A = this chain, B = another copy of it.
Amino acid sequence: MTAETRFTTAPEPATASQVAEQIVHLARLVHGGTSDQCLTPAQWTALRYFARANRFSRTPSAFSEFHATTRGTASQTVKSLISAGLLERHANQSDGRSSLIEVTPAGHEKLQNDPLSALTRAIDLLPEAERARFTAVIAHLATRLARERTAPLFGNCGDCGHCDTTDSGPAYCRCTQSLLAQEDMNALCVDFSPAAPNLR
């Protein structure tokens, strides 16, 4: 369409605010509707979090920060999942105040029916190149918004500025002063600090 042919009723491209609304709507559709109703959205988020977080971040406090809520509320959510048999509490050897939360086998099984999987499948079906770009943009937006809200970023250890990767052998985290296993490299960490900007 050229500049001359401007129809009075031509649709305009979606504005940024319309896209923002659509993102919020998308997130709501995940937990709304005919999905698995046995868990509340907060409980699903907690279960997902403890399945994804590294061993330094599997605490009620870290989850409360991730979920942008209070420690009291997070404590209740964790308690409900423990009594449902989906989470387990373990003592932290080095800190008597803290406790380490683990997902039980029943919890992992429950995650097979995660209502989020509908969105996951849709993303998986994107063309490879499209998905890579989309992933980068989402990460970029999350970083910007978290910084503005002064909320922690919660990225993967592998992308973290605290992480020293050597050419061979395990990586080392300067923040927690410990070696990182392979599985830690793709786990969420409360102390995450991006190593490099996601988008120029």
Chain A residues at the B interface, C-beta cutoff of 8 Å: 5, 7-30, 32-35, 45, 48, 52, 66-69, 116-126, 130-135, 137-142, 144-146, 148-151, 154, 156-159, 165-171, 180-182, 185-186, 199
Which residues of the partner chain B approach A185 to less than 8 Å between Cβ atoms?
9-12
User: What residues on B are CB-neighbors of A121 within 8 Å?
Assistant: 16
Question: Which residues of B are found within 8 Å of A117, using beta-carbon distances?
Answer: 17
Q: Are B145 and A19 touching (Cβ within 8 A)?
A: no
Contacts A122-B144, A135-B14, A168-B7 given; indicate if A149 touches B33 (C-beta within 8 A). Answer: yes
Contact A14 B156 (CB under 8 A): yes
Could you tell me if A24 and B30 are in contact, using CB atoms closer than 8 angstroms?
Answer: yes
A121 and chain B: residue at smallest CB distance: B16
Known: A18-B186, A26-B27, A27-B28. 13 other contacts (CB 8 A): A5-B167, A9-B170, A9-B181, A11-B186, A19-B120, A19-B135, A20-B30, A20-B123, A26-B145, A29-B142, A33-B149, A122-B144, A125-B144
On whether the beta carbons of B134 and A29 are closer than 8 Å, the reply is no
Q: Contacts A32-B149, A33-B68, A131-B16: A142 and B26 contacting too (C-beta < 8 A)?
A: yes
Task: Please tell me if the beta carbons of A27 and B24 are within 8 angstroms of each other in the complex.
Answer: yes
Closest 8 CB pairs of A and B: A11-B158, A32-B68, A27-B27, A33-B149, A9-B171, A16-B123, A16-B124, A20-B119
